[in-house]
Structure 1
Amino acid sequence: MTDPAATLDGPVLDDHLHLDPVNGRNTDAVREFARLGGTHLLVLNKPSWSLGVEVSEPDDFRDPLELTCEAVADATAVLPGRAWPVLGVHPALISRLVDRGFSPEAARDLMMGGIDVAAEFVADGPALAIKSGRPHYDVRDAVWDASNAVMCHAFERAAEVGCAVQLHTEGGSDFTEVTEWAEDRGLPAERVVKHYAGPRTEGPVPSVLASEENIEGAMEHGRPFMLETDFIDDPDRPGAVLGPKTVPKRTAWLVEEGHDDVVREAHVETPTRVYGIDTEATLE
């Protein structure tokens, strides 16, 4: 394949990537993304504990979220487009809190408080969307119910502040019940995004992990989708889940295969519909 940067002449968005200004590559990873033709990023805050913060009250979430906003500002400075923060509470926190002695209900309330803090960041301007979800592993019923309550609270707050929600959940394909919960709380289904989506996802807008197999499956399924790497910026796991070069490389492959319509849908039209962003107007 030719140099991806030479193939690409429009926006290229990675819909879900982490940057770690404390322990990771941070802006160096962004430069690698841009060198291959990447232009725009949605940067998700890493779990609070991975940045050295054990939360006990809602205000404890602020510093990790501020760190992500600072990393996003640094990323924007080296991108031909820009980056946006997507902020919230990692759903696995509930297990960590329960292990520390919180009841599921107390953990739920603390995590809802964290969602409220993230909604402030959206309302005040720096953040684009809210991150929430539920554990991707088996938990007891009380923890599951508490997690669903946190997720529904995120839908409520997103509807209030006028933003989308990115979901971290278990695997599967049918999440129509989840989007029904969102709509019941005033958030349209098209503003709910399933991070790490399988190619046949129903309900939320799929954010598909950018492997050729997943992309081909998503194209066959026929629903509009976005692309992501879920790069976690962990020096102990370099390149996990996928490296920052991946979305530009896969986008160049789509262009070479003649799928210009899919490229425009993934990097321009769907982000506009879901997040209200203009990846063309923000491209130098």
Structure 2
Amino acid sequence: MDLGTPVLDNHLHLDPEHGRGIDAVEDFARLGGTHLLVVNKPSWHLGCEAETGEDFRTVFETTLGVVAQASEVLDGRAWPVLGVHPGLVSRLVDERGFEPAEARDLMCDGLDVAVEYVREDRALALKSGRPHYDVSDAVWEASNDVLRHALSLGADADCAVQLHTESTEDLTDVAGWADERGLPPKKVVKHYAGPRLDGVTPSVMSEPDWLREAAEEGKPFLMETDFVDDPDRPGAVLGPKTVPRRVRTLLDEGYDEAVRRAHVETPRSVYGIDTRATLSK
């Protein structure tokens, strides 16, 4: 199906071994989806119990492999977003006996490996964040240290940073940290965002009412599903067909300008990608 526009899902996961993998990409493409930003799954979901930063490399390589396969299916292409899921801090501290500072250092080391792929033009952006659930003060501060490190790496490598954070409409604190480090706040993206967000760019979960509100706000935004590709959680979050379906609805309702903003203008501004020029058909 051709929707007459690039259609980008800004944040989803693909698991070629345990999940639907390329079958999910084919569903996305069949309904008019053209471009994907594929975020590596949490490392422990891919069997990686990291001891050093280098241990994350197997997770990143798995993601690069499935991104290459996805690009062969799409009329556009896919890009990898690599990093360390902020929930790892709790796994390290609560289950593996790490001190918060030790967990922080390991997660920062993993980000140091991830940014190598960005510098080599093998990945588009970094992924980091902080827990969306209650944690101790020490874990919270360690998590913010990791987040700030990711922003520093993004500034140095001139790349965007996707964040997993608590539910909020205000990330001006993070925007300030980014600005201090030389990373434009617009290049910081809150994944799983609602329609209103101060400070950084929202990647809005593709719920119809949220998208209409974001469209009417008139500000830059992206669209995502956070598809988890986990056979043990088949109904979790949104499926891979959702973004193209929502784009069709927005177009039918006259939100052409908002679709252009979410799928052409904001991807160019945030990531430096051209979703029109990368269409093959």
The TM-score, its normalising length taken from structure 2, stands at: 0.98
2:260 is equivalent to residue 260 of structure 1: no
Amino acid at match of 2:164: H
2:35 is equivalent to residue 48 of structure 1: no
Unmatched 5+ stretches in structure 2: none
Distance of 1:237 and 1:251 partners within structure 2: 25
Distance of 2:122 and 2:68 partners within structure 1: 9
SS in 1 for 2:27: helix
Structure 2 residue aligned with 1:220: 216
Structure 2 residue aligned with 1:61: 56
Please give the per-residue CA displacement for 1:251-278, whole angstroms capped at 9, x wherever unaligned: 0001111111001110000000000000
Distance of 2:195 and 2:44 partners within structure 1: 31
Distance of 2:186 and 2:106 partners within structure 1: 28
2:143 is equivalent to residue 147 of structure 1: yes
Distance of 1:50 and 1:277 partners within structure 2: 29
**Equivalent in 79, 84, 92 of residue 89 of structure 1:** 84
8 Å CA contact retained: 2:93, 2:100: yes
Amino acid at match of 1:125: D
Structure 1 residue aligned with 2:25: 30
Report the aligned-residue RMSD. 0.8
**Equivalent in 198, 219, 239 of residue 243 of structure 1:** 239
SS in 2 for 1:207: strand
Amino acid at match of 1:96: R
8 Å CA contact retained: 2:218, 2:258: no
SS in 1 for 2:267: helix
Unmatched 5+ stretches in structure 1: none
Amino acid at match of 1:19: L
Q: Post-superposition shift, 1:239?
A: 4.2
Following superposition of structure 1 onto structure 2, how do residues 223-234 of structure 1 map, counting pairs within 5 Å? 223-234=219-230
Distance of 1:50 and 1:178 partners within structure 2: 28
| Identity fraction in percent | 63
**Equivalent in 199, 205, 209 of residue 205 of structure 2:** 209
Q: Post-superposition shift, 1:208?
A: 0.2
Q: Post-superposition shift, 1:240?
A: 2.4
8 Å CA contact retained: 1:233, 1:239: no
Q: Post-superposition shift, 1:10?
A: 1.6
2:118 is equivalent to residue 122 of structure 1: yes
Q: Post-superposition shift, 1:218?
A: 1.5
8 Å CA contact retained: 1:230, 1:240: no
Please give the per-residue CA displacement for 1:201-227, whole angstroms capped at 9, x wherever unaligned: 111100000010111222233322110
Aligned length: 279
